[in-house]
Structure 1
Amino acid sequence: MAGGRVAGVVRRLVMGVVAVVAAGALCVPSAVAADSPGYWYVDDTGVRDAWAQGITGEGVKVAVVDDEMISNYPGYAGADVSFKAAIKHGDSCSTSKEYNGDIVTGRRTIKADNAGRKAGDGGIYTTHGTNMMAFIVGNGQGYDGNPGVLGSAPKASVTSYAKGFATTGLLDGVIVPCMDSDDAPISGPDSIRAAAEGGARIISLSIDQNITGLGVPSILYAVRHGVIMVTGRGNDPVKGTKDLVGKPGAMNEFPGQVVTNMVDRDGNIDKSTDVMDGNVTTLSPGVDVLRYNKAEDKAPQIMGGGTSVATAVLSGYLALVMSRWPEATGNQILQSLIRNTKGNDSGEAKLDPEHKRGFGEVDLGKLLEVDPTQYPDINPILQWQVETSEKHEETKGMYTSHADWEDYSYGETDPFDGDNGERTIRVPKEAELVGQELDRQVKAWKRVEQCRADGGSDCMRYSATNTADEADKSTPLPDTGGGKAVSSGLPSWFWWAVGGGAGALVLAVGGVVLAVVLARRKRNRGRHGGPGNSGPGAPPMPPAPPMPPMTGRPGVNAPTAPRRLPQGPAVPSPYGDAPGSGPNPYSPANYSRETASQKPQLFAPPVLSKHVPR
């Protein structure tokens, strides 16, 4: 693979941007006046009662993946905060020349272990990420004696993972990519992996990014280790999916994540997002909150916060819950989250049949009262999504074996999205790892239950979370092309290193539409494809792994044998090679590099890109 070709592709990828959502040490929480209108998400939800009981998030590590943050923002005084960046090659990254103009003034640099920005630098006093972190640990103090953003988990340990550079103007702008020494942008999946490896138990994701298949193992690493990932739907009236099935090609709808929508003080969904969206799991405060509106602001205002604020607020609440129940796994806390929502006293998860409110609005009081260790160490959102995908003809087979798909290939479901049923869900080959992970979690919990039935002690050592390190070493990834399956337990840099450095990371930046990629077979005719996909002449498809049905959900049957998802036509390689020839993207030399189409495009409309002004 010629280095010049790679560099050219990378430079084109740089032109993509990451869309952000709306628009983030409490020294003495009680010093901030109660009943302040913009602090209702603290005053009305039991947060101050938790503080009075010493429940402050202490001992819980949280990560915030967003744009660079103002490290000396006054609201962080006394907080345990740090600022990093998951830079793949080298210890720093810089703006690309394409952005050294109107959007970013001068050439700027982010360092891997010192990714913070100083207040006033370039005229910027706050960023989207600064707001988000403050909604978790902010002490309520702002600039020049003004109030600031107030967080709900003042003693949590929070690390920022910068995805790129902030810009001036409204905080619903873009994140400008930061390019490392190999001309590759910081990747969202890499940031998630770095946060999970760094010990984060909660990852707050108020940004969106499409991912290619090679980003799947990094996000799945966090799922496997019981890390709770909280994200938000878009701040717009665009309908989502018809049911809770997840999207394996989207960073903010990846299976197993908590997807939030925003509600006001009375629990009403904001009118801008009050639409069907099957992937919404939880409602969280995000309307009429005190926040900053522009990067140049030194005084906040009460206005709509958007689903990104709902994401950060919920992350803070979950940090309180983790500090209250330190023995519970992340999966068990997720079980409690969806079973103990406001108005649901059954103790069972109940999904809104209209697919607007998910499992309901977060109820912090219940989460602090109900011991989550009674629940299985199985990610319930992951389980629900895999099971539900098998119920629908359009999505059946998304998370089952794609062993006969060629390397670096994709399939597409039949139209399933809620927008007039016209949109499909793109499925990378690596989505099969999602089904494998759920199967692992279910089997691990059965072993825990058997241990307990036999009168054993310390049976939780067999649970999915507590065996994640062992699973890292054995979870297979697609064939490398040389007849050997690589292990997801090895870090991405391993495959780069063994290839002599030839396979540097290039992730498609958020806002770039997932590309059609190398070595894909031509689409077969027919609704679900012909030989090689499904129907007469197709190889036998293994049945989906047995999964116990979720309680409280009517009409759920055992999964049936899935159909094969059709694949798209082969396209020329972005490296200039003919389809099916040239370098194998799954080889050790190329495993850490993702490719995009030769002509990147932006989302239309951008997902998670706007504030909700009030």
Structure 2
Amino acid sequence: MMMSGWVSRGSAVVVSALAVTVVAAGVGVANTEDGYWYFDNYDVASFHEQGIDGSGVKIAVIDSVIDPDAPFLADANVTVHEPSFCVPQQEGGESVPAAISGGDVDDHGTNVTGFLVGNGDQGPKGIAPGAEITFYSWGDFAEDKCGSNPSEYRLDVGASLKAALDADADIVTISVGGGELLSTGEFADQLARAMRENVIITAGVPNDDLDVGVGFMTGNGVVGVGSVGEDGQTPSREAFDGAEDLVTVHNTNEWLDVVAPGVGLTLGGGASWEAPELGNGTSFATPITAGNVALALQANPEATPNQVLQLLIHNTGVDAPHEPVFDPTGEVGYGVVDTISLLGDDATKYDDVNPFILDGDDQSPTVEEIFGETAATADPEPSGEASSEASPSPAAPTAEPTTEPAPTDSGNTNTVVWIALGVLVALAIIIVAVVVASRRRAEN
């Protein structure tokens, strides 16, 4: 399965989940309990016990469809926006629902949500179970709705992001890709709005460098997320290239900013969620990153979202805090998201600057489109280009101070002047009276 790009595929808008590899649990297969290493190795439960569980943070999930009755979503605070943003082309056509329960359904969106707020019952354990989730659907990919049938349905990606921003989301996490609509119209406007309003967006990158196209992660200011295994290695696999030669491909991408656990994770599966399985994918590393950011937002209530993003890149790996260093190979970006390091530092000491917003005409949206003017300082390179050290991107430009006086009301000004003159006259009279009285006393 490939993620589509910001480029045209004829008249079609191609939508798919990021590539996912799944291995069903069973005899001879690693127990799915081992698939909670992302939760156990980073002591996530200990932070939950301290009350750091994402409470008070609003997260918008944009994905396929969701089964809100999945056992691992029981008691989670999940609201489903209905209907989906896969809308019929013909008037009177049937809308695609966002929530689908029972039977064999597209489980991608359900599992993605599980890595945020799941309870671990036959599926993922969530990084931020106290967060408030609103789910926005792009359609049922298993039924190929809003996939390769543009004559029947169209995908309104701009409206999905607008809905999330209108609902005051703090974080938007996206593990699906799209086609030409991603780079045009309302979506581009809403992405600029998100950056302007300091909404944090995490988006998955393709699972290997043979995947065709790009997607949300190319947006200026968006955090592009790759995956890493328990051994700290980025995944690789053998595949055929265009010449049908067998090659080894890696989870590399020029737009990759950070990596997070995404290999050997427990997923919910089966017609009734009775068959959990192990799976891989940047699709799951992305909500894990979003969940960690939610914990950091809660743990740093005095910090801005931009400072939390700075906290993220200063606290990758175990040797933290550190100065951000970008990996030029495109495999790990600024490093591995580490819950323990992230929550062990103070975000308020960092600059209020989104490090992922870069200046340049090749950025979309541009700094001018986001803030309305050119930034005073900027990194000329996109976050994914080779660079040995990170350079902070510009924050919202500060307006030039005006030299013109603020307008005043002439009537009020005249009144003040007359009062002041009256006070001066009264003081003069008092002074004269005092002087005269003093002279009389001296004569007597």
| CA 202–547 in structure 1, closer or farther in 2 if over 3 Å, else same | same
4+ residue segments displaced more than 6 Å: 555-559
Correspondence for 1:308 = 283
SS of alignment partner, residue 287 of structure 1: coil
SS in 1 for 2:282: helix
User: Could you tell me which residue of structure 2 aligns to residue 355 of structure 1?
Assistant: 330
Match of 2:183 in 1: 212
Alignment map for 1:311-322 (pairs within 5 Å): 311-322=286-297
- Say which of 546, 567, 579 aligns to 2:376: 546
Match of 1:270 in 2: 235
Deviation per CA, 1:105-162: give whole Å up to 9, x if none.
xx85346xxx322222xx43x5210110011111111xxxxx2222111111111101
Shift in Å, 1:310: 0.7
Indicate the residue corresponding to 2:341 in structure 1: 366
> Which residue in 1 is equivalent to 2:200?
228
CA shift digits 1:314-340 (9 cap, x unpaired): 112212112212232221111111111
Aligned mate of 1:188, from 150, 157, 162: 157
Q: Is the 8 A contact 1:351 1:553 kept in 2?
A: yes
Letter matched to residue 294 of structure 2: A
Please name the residue that 1:280 is paired with. 256
Confirm or deny that 1:64 pairs with 2:50. no
Q: Which amino acid aligns with 1:209?
A: G
Is 1:41–1:285's contact at 8 Å kept on the other side of the alignment?
yes
One-letter code of the match for 1:370?
A: D
Q: Is the 8 A contact 1:95 1:179 kept in 2?
A: no
What amino acid is the match of 1:176?
C
**Given the alignment of the two structures, is residue 117 of structure 1 paired with residue 100 of structure 2, yes or no?**
yes
Instruction: Give per-residue Cα distances to partners, 1:364-411, cap 9 Å, x unaligned.
Output: 1121121112222221111xx43xx5xxxxxxx324xxxxxxxxxxxx
Cα distance in 1, alignment partners of residues 343 and 255 from structure 2: 25
Compared CA separation, residues 321 and 345, structure 1 to 2 (3 A): closer
Secondary structure in 2 matching 1:369: coil
Q: Is the 8 A contact 2:207 2:251 kept in 1?
A: no
How much is the aligned-residue C-alpha RMSD, in angstroms? 3.6
Which stretch of structure 1 is more off in the superposition, 362-371 or 270-279?
270-279
Number of corresponding residues: 354
Question: Alpha-carbon deviation of 1:353?
Answer: 2.9
TM-score (norm 2): 0.70
1:381 is paired with a residue whose SS is: coil
1:160 aligned partner: 135
Which of 76, 79, 91 aligns to 1:79? It is 76
Compute the displacement of 1:343 (Å). Answer: 4.5
Contact 1:332-1:375 within 8 A present in 2 as well: yes
Distance 1:556 1:227 in 2: 21
Q: 1:136 aligns with which of 100, 107, 116?
A: 116
Counterpart of 1:237?
Answer: 209
Secondary structure of the structure 1 residue equivalent to 2:343: helix
1:335 and 2:310 correspond: yes
What is the distance in 1 between the residues matched to 2:135 and 2:390?
42
CA contact (8 A) 1:64 1:159 kept: yes
Asked whether the 8 Å contact 2:84–2:136 carries over to 1, the reply is: no
SS at structure 2 position matched to 1:64: strand
Identity %: 29
> What residue identity is the alignment partner of 1:286?
G
- For 2:71, give the aligned amino acid: P
Aligned amino acid, residue 135 of structure 1: F
What CA distance in whole angstroms lies between the structure 2 residues aligned with 1:309 and 1:354? 22
Secondary structure of the structure 1 residue equivalent to 2:61: strand
CA contact (8 A) 1:86 1:194 kept: no
Query: In terms of Rg, which structure is larger?
Result: 2
Residue of structure 2 in register with 1:47 after alignment: 44
Q: Helix, strand or coil: the match of 1:161?
A: strand
Contact 2:296 2:343 (C-alpha < 8 Å) held by counterparts: yes
Aligned with 1:176 (options 116, 123, 146):
146
1:3-14 equivalence runs, <5 A: 13=11
- 3-state SS in 1 of match to 2:274: coil
Q: 1:289 aligns with which of 261, 265, 281?
A: 265
- Measure, in 2, the Cα distance between the counterparts of 1:557 and 1:85: 39
Aligned-partner SS, 1:327: coil
Paired residues for 1:554-593 under 5 Å: none
Once the 2 structures are TM-superposed, how far is the Cα of residue 195 of structure 1 from its aligned partner? 0.6
Compute the displacement of 1:86 (Å): 7.4
Q: Which amino acid aligns with 1:371?
A: D
> Aligned with 1:51: secondary structure?
helix
Measure, in 2, the Cα distance between the counterparts of 1:314 and 1:545: 28
Matches within 5 A, 1:103-114: 109-110=95-96
SS of equivalent to 2:218: coil
Q: Which amino acid aligns with 1:19?
A: S
Contact 2:321 2:345 in 1 (8 A): no
Q: Is the 8 A contact 1:127 1:166 kept in 2?
A: no
Q: Which runs of 5+ in 2 are unaligned?
A: 1-9, 21-31, 238-248, 381-386, 395-444
- Which among 158, 166, 171 is matched to residue 202 of structure 1? 171
